[in-house]
Structure 1
Amino acid sequence: MAPGDEWAKRIEQVGRESALSQSTLKQSTQNLIRQLLFSGIMVPGEIYSANSLASHLGISNSPAREAMMALAAIGLLEPVRNRGFRVVELSEHDRYEVYEMRVLIEVEAARQAATRDIGIEAIENIVRLAQRSIEALPSTREDPALPYLNADHDFHMAVVDSIGNSRWSKTISNLRDESRVNGAYRYLKDSQGLQHSAREHVDIAKAVQERDPEKAAALMLKHLEYARPKNYPPAS
């Protein structure tokens, strides 16, 4: 089966299992495509048709195309004239730019989360999501990494969201999506990297809970090393 057919068949199955109302069709379709991107079913360089997606979901072309255009607008897909959409592939330099931007925002977000009066509910949510990332770790090498990657995303976004700066949150969410689509962190699954990363979440959450801003910032800076391309220097 061609890659384009495989991804459409997988999303067809998910679509059948989800009760999607017309009012949420575009957003739901967009979320489903994001999951296929992050799981590696949709791969960089391949071209995927909105018509094929719509056909397998039993919906009109319009919401399928709108969902793919929305993902193109944030840099995850790119339109290919008269053919469909291609998954965007990041260069090593692109990845380093993403890493640098994440360091600038996420390290300061961790510091601010431990400094500001973000409220006990936000702190407990950060701690809870750190623990959830431990629970979402794959049990074996054969288990999919996507549940952990989703838990990882939720934890990082909880730290940034706790500051209450919507532009920081939007920027980090988009940057994380760009890097995850390209499967940059799959090597972590075979090197115990996911387990190490999850334990670092717990340490960061504890520093926030203990109201230790410099420790929280230092731990986040160290943690983000997993996102740095090997041939580039650490951010200062």
Structure 2
Amino acid sequence: MGRSHAWGDELRPAELSRSTLKDSTEALIRRALLSGAMRPGEIYSANALAARLGVSNSPAREAMMSLANKGLLELVRNRGFRVVELTDSDKQEVYDLRRLIEVEAVRRVAAAGVTAEQAAQLRALTERTVEAADADGLLEYLEADQRFHVTLVDMLGNSRWTAIVENLRDQSRINGSYRLQERGLVRSSAAEHRGIAEAVVAGDPELAAQRMVRHLDYARP
């Protein structure tokens, strides 16, 4: 399972008109951050990045500013943007917050109960993560993993809670910081989603919380 550090076609928009240019560009840059194509310590100008992605300067800069506000990039005055490199202390802070917020979200979803439609959605997303892990595509797995977790939290019906979890997860994953691939944990991480989903569907909040705590262990600094 290899991690690409190149700007391949997979990081380019198939059709930017499907959404706003800014949002589409932000999604592309985020994928580059997750894949490791953009590396800590290097300065990226909005103009150069816009040319590489085939968009104008304005949406590229807006997208980079948005990612800077989310803690994924940092502004370097008069030069551009740099990928944030998390210290061990930063990683611990993110992990601690995820333990508090994400675990409690799963506990509440399980306690409230899910509909048959939501149960089917969780199971489908679970199997998608397993398929992505088996296909040896790390970036595809990370995206499927994100959809599973964000969808689960979103079942609380609290958009702010969802946004916080989504942002914390991205902060912990930029530049391959999970090291799932190197540690041989991609497939086992994907398989754990089944246990979490089934505990939620069964309406067992404590079991769901316990399984989520165990699942988050791979993100422990």
1:153 aligns with 2:134: no
Residue 58 (structure 1) shift: 3.7
Partner residue in 1 for 2:131? 135
TM value normalised by structure 2: 0.91
Q: What are structure 1's unaligned runs of at least 5 residues?
A: 1-5, 230-236
Aligned to 2:20: 24
Q: Give the TM-score, by structure 1 length.
A: 0.85
Identity %: 55
CA pair 57-113 structure 1, distance change in 2 beyond 3 A:
same
Deviation digits for residues 82-133 of structure 1 (CA, Å, limit 9, x no counterpart): 1110000111111111111111111111111111143222222112111111
Offset of 1:157 from its aligned partner? 0.8
Q: 2:100 aligns with which of 104, 110, 128?
A: 104
| Alpha-carbon RMSD | 2.0
2:75 is matched with 79
User: In 2, distance between residues paired with 1:32 and 1:224?
Assistant: 26
2:197 counterpart residue number: 205
Greater Rg over alpha carbons, structure: 1
Distance 2:216 2:100 in 1: 11
- Who is 1:233 aligned against? none
Q: Structure 2 counterpart of 1:110, which letter? A: V
Question: 1-side partners of 2:219 and 2:70: how far apart?
Answer: 19
Match of 1:191 in 2: 183
Q: Residues 51 and 70 of structure 1: is their aligned pair in 2 closer, same or farther, counting only changes over 3 Å?
A: same
- Residue 180 in structure 1 maps to residue 173 in structure 2: yes
1:142-186 per-residue CA deviation (whole Å, 9 max, x = no partner) reads x44111111111111111111111111111111111111132112
Paired AA for residue 160 in structure 1: V
How many residues are treated as equivalent by the alignment? 217
Distance 2:25 2:216 in 1: 30
Asked if structure 2 preserves the Cα contact closer than 8 Å seen for 1:11 and 1:32, the reply is no
Query: Is 2:12 the partner of 1:14?
Result: yes
Q: How does 1:31-50 map to 2 (within 5 A)?
A: 31-50=27-46
Partner of 2:155: 162
Q: Among 52, 69, 78, which residue is 2:48 paired with?
A: 52
Q: For 2:219 and 2:148, how far apart are their aligned partners in 1? A: 16
Letter in 1 for 2:12: V
Structure 2 regions of 5+ residues with no counterpart?
none
